Chain A
């Protein structure tokens, strides 16, 4: 598999500035989830989360790439995606109108993740963390 690292309860995959990298990120996370006994709903939903967040980071972020980290805990999965500087405060999200073409990505993330928060690891390293309970 193309994970950067896969040590027991976590896996990491990096992406560059090509939106074509997003498929590989979905693969790594999906394969990890399967190995850690995620149900089908969690499998599909978290691959969607990764796809949305990585696409956002590549298309709208300032950094030339980033990382996806997925962690399996007894009661939940945690996914962190770097390159979140450009993502607005989730409290300011407004649902797009039905005919509006754009803006649905983060709405979908919020719809399938149990918790969505921001984590600032270092200056300029802002990540979005999504938690999905098993």
Chain B
């Protein structure tokens, strides 16, 4: 039996921002990790999260690791417009004050 389809789509817009749509969980987190790994950590990586309906700790892990890579390379990771559901999880995990969120 094939694995269920990923519920996350990742696209890159004209400003080189990664636009996330759907749900970021243990199933889809590796795909985001792979995409983030392709980016230059020494630059500003932007994640548009306005269309992300769901995130759990698996998604948080990928974001934290990317944030750490960016800081170590003197770059930055910026989260753009997280939805209500995502903001709640960021705040509950204590990451709301640690990550760069606009």
Contact = CB atoms under 8 A, between A and B. Distances in A.
Identify whether the interface residues of A are mostly helix, strand, loop, or mixed.
Answer: helix
A108 B26 contact: no
B64 A101 contact: yes
A19 interface: yes
Contacts of B74: none
A93 interface: no
A18 B68 CA distance: 29
Interface string B25-44: 11100000000000000000
Contact of B4 (A23, A51, A99): A23
A107 interface: yes
B23 A23 contact: yes
Interface in A57-115: 58-59, 98-99, 101-102, 104-105, 107-108, 111-112
Contact of A105 (B3, B7, B23, B56): B56
Contacts, number: 71
A99 B61 CA distance: 10
Given A23-B23, A98-B94, A111-B92, A52 B85 contact: no
Nearest to A106: B57
Contacts of A44: 84-85, 88
A23 B7 contact: yes
Interface residues of A, number: 27
A36 interface: no
A59 B64 contact: no
A48 interface: yes
B98 interface: yes
Given A48-B89, A108-B92, A19 B27 contact: yes
Nearest to A41: B88
A20 interface: yes
A47 B94 contact: no
B61 A18 contact: no
